[in-house]
Structure 1
Amino acid sequence: MTTAREAMTAGAECIGENDTIREAAKRLKELQVGSVPICGTDDKLKGMVTDRDIAIKVVAAGLDPDSTTAGSLAKGKPVTIGADDTLEEALRTMSEHRVRRLPVIDGHQLVGMLSQADLARALPDEAAGDLIQAISQD
Structure 2
Amino acid sequence: MTTAADIMHPGAQWIPRWETLDRAAQVMRDLDVGALPISDENERLCGILTDRDIVVGCVAMGHDPASVTAGDMAKGTPRWINADADVSEVLHEMEEHRIRRLPVIDNKRLVGMISEADLARHLTDEEVAEFAQRIYAAS
With normalisation by structure 2, the TM-score equals 0.91
Q: Which residue of 1 aligns with 2:36?
A: 36
Structure 2 counterparts to residues 1-138 of structure 1, below 5 A: 1-138=1-138
> What SS class does the counterpart of residue 79 from structure 1 fall into?
coil
How many residues are aligned here?
138
Which sections of structure 2, spanning at least 5 residues, go unmatched? Answer: none
Name the Cα RMSD after superposition.
1.4
- Shift, 1:48, TM fit: 0.7
The answer to whether the Cα contact below 8 Å between 2:13 and 2:110 also exists between their aligned partners in 1 is: no
Which sections of structure 1, spanning at least 5 residues, go unmatched? Answer: none
| Sequence identity (%) | 49
Taking the aligned partners of 1:108 and 1:78, their CA distance within structure 2 comes to: 14
With normalisation by structure 1, the TM-score equals 0.92
Higher mean C-alpha displacement, 126-135 vs 88-97: 126-135
Structure 2 counterpart of 1:25, one-letter code: A
The answer to whether the Cα contact below 8 Å between 1:87 and 1:119 also exists between their aligned partners in 2 is: no
Structure 1 counterpart of 2:90, one-letter code: A
